Structure 1
Amino acid sequence: MSTFTLDNPAGVPSSPFKAFSNVAVIPLGERTLLMLAGQVAWGDDHQIVGGDDMRAQSRRVMELIGKVLEAHGATFADVVNLRTFLTDISRIREYGEIRAEYFKDAAPPTSTTVEVSRLFLPEALIEVEATAII
């Protein structure tokens, strides 16, 4: 019997390839661990939102993370770790400006940011995974 559940909350595009779930929900006694899959800036039609605009893509990614968190009773204040993949590390400040908006009322989580040669969708500039504890 599994001690966790996998979920694709309403309002968050799931994989068009059925290759992953958006979140693993893992009970830890009085707390719950949420492990979010990497989010890219896609809309409901699975097309990348924002074109070559890092800020627009970053905002969409954070919106999607927020929706997954909210569906499980969490907020950005519950996020303990972010893993960010950028296709161009020289644009980290653009991402950072948007990220800061979502953590303005919370201590910044631990994080790792790396540059990658590409993401699974060629138009995607950024992908972010998150871990939260509620």
Structure 2
Amino acid sequence: MPKEIIVPAGSGKPLAPYSPGTKADGVVYVSGTLPFDKNNNVVHLDDPKAQTRHVLEIIKSVIETAGGTMDDVTMNHIFVTDWAHYGAVNEVYAEYFPGDKPARYCVQVGLVKPGALVEIATVAHIGKP
């Protein structure tokens, strides 16, 4: 099965060997997305709402570059550094998924860079190519 690497215009260089997204057989897999600027610096320090919005905007750009919309998202994997941020993350998350909600899970973890409070990886089904 052929795959297509998805890199939205203006994306920074990833921290590790991965692509922002991969599309195969009508499914888009979005890598774990952190609240980074184009130089991999954490943005919106100490603000879980702003970091969540930043992450979801990056995810949205990957999905749209692949030809889909946020309505095509079927699964989100959410990682938070502190359960105290769970409510703030959910508040912003609900703005991006106002209708039928995708499946998801959320776990508390340590993230790759200090200051990052949330990371989200996504799967979207946008149909057959």
Calculate the TM-score normalised by the size of structure 1. 0.88
| C-alpha displacement of 1:16 | 3.7
Query: What are the residue-to-residue correspondences of 1:1-134 with 2, within 5 Å?
Result: 3-17=2-16, 19-27=17-25, 32-104=26-98, 106-116=99-109, 118-134=110-126
TM-superposed CA distance for 1:73, in Å, is 1.4
**For this pair of structures, how many residues does the alignment match?**
126
Conserved? CA contact 2:81–2:108, under 8 Å: yes
Kindly report the root-mean-square deviation, in angstroms, between the aligned alpha carbons of the 2 structures: 1.3
Letter in 1 for 2:48: M
Unmatched tracts of structure 1, length 5 or more: none
Q: CA deviation at 1:13?
A: 2.8
Contact 2:5 2:22 survives alignment (8 Å): yes
The CA deviation string for residues 12-66 of structure 1, in whole angstroms up to 9 with x for no partner, is 333044x110111102xxxx00010010011112111100110110010011011
Long gaps (5+) in structure 2 = none
Structure 2: how far apart are the matches of 1:100 and 1:11? Answer: 26
Could you list the structure 1 runs, at least 4 aligned residues long, displaced by more than 6 angstroms after superposition.
none
SS in 1 for 2:119: strand
Match of 2:124, as an amino acid? A
